[in-house]
Amino acid sequence: MKVDDLVKRVDQLITMGQEVLATRRHMDWGGDFIDSGLMGGFRSASLSFIERIYGSNHPHFSEVKEGAEGSRPSDAEKCIAVLRAVRSEIEGGWLFSIKGLITAEVFADFIEMAEHLLDTGYKDPAAVMCGGVLEEHLRQLCLKHKIETVNLRDGKEIPKKADTLNADLARAEVYTKLDQKMIVGWLDLRNKAAHGQYDEYTADQVKNLLSSVVEFTARVSV
């Protein structure tokens, strides 16, 4: 999903929140209230969006889940304030910077596991794991540079294959044609491992794959 699409969705949710606030009514026995049904739908939609973008452990998610549980105007206002903060982070590029840091840590863990597998004689799962790190890095690069990562087919989103992501990134000059050609070879080795063609590559080639992917992900970072 592109940044513009994310901003559009945030704006839709903010509008929904403003519509909820418009139902504000004063009750002599308890102060101001808003429509509880509309507030429930707004809160649920906001939580779903925030979780999809940040995950359920992020403060934005907790702020809405735990701090906007009621049917007071302040609950809707708090939810709207969080959404505006989310919008600002997306527009400012902070979202993908944060994701890049998290992704780098996760990738480092997977690379370490792949190295351990290789060191203990398991070159084939090491190659598959390293190839998975590479493919996810290509996907994150596409998101960063506003390149579509899916194709629409019969109304469904179909994730693009790694080779297609690689070609799209090179075409957008995110990295060089030489990088693209090297990635084709790395993906080919991963595919051989994934399809059981174990005799078509060596442990030394997997070792080179690991070091190459580490260098590439550091040099062309998310």
CA dist 16 and 102 (Å) reads: 31
Confidence of residue 101 (pLDDT cuts 50, 70, 90): very low
What sign does the CA torsion over 104, 95, 143, 154 have? positive
pLDDT at 105: 56
The DSSP code sequence of 74-114 is: HHHHHHHHHHHHHHHHHHTTHHHHHHHHHHHHHHHHHHHHH
Residue 68 has pLDDT above 70, yes or no: yes
Residue 142, phi then psi, degrees to nearest 5: -60, -45
157: which strand partners?
Answer: 152
Express as a percent the part of the chain with pLDDT over 70: 91
Question: pTM for the whole thing?
Answer: 0.55
Residue 94 has pLDDT above 90, yes or no: no
The per-residue pLDDT for range 200-215, each reduced to its tens digit, is: 999 999 999 999 998 9
User: Residue holding tokens 């997997």?
Assistant: 206
Residue 102 has pLDDT above 50, yes or no: no
Residue 148 has pLDDT above 60, yes or no: yes
pLDDT at 207: 94
Residue 49 has pLDDT above 90, yes or no: no
Question: Hey, what amino acid is at 186?
Answer: W
pLDDT at 51: 82
150: which strand partners?
Answer: 159
Q: In the chain, where do the E strands start and end?
A: 25-27, 31-33, 150-153, 156-159
27: which strand partners?
Answer: 31
Q: Which of 49-53, 100-104, 194-198 has the lowest mean pLDDT?
A: 100-104
CA dist 189 and 205 (Å) reads: 8
> Is residue 79 within 8 Å of residue 30, measured between CB atoms?
no
Residue 119 has pLDDT above 80, yes or no: yes
| Helix (H) or strand (E) segment spanning residue 193 | helix 177-194
Q: Where is pLDDT greater, at 59 or 178?
A: 178
Confidence of residue 3 (pLDDT cuts 50, 70, 90): low
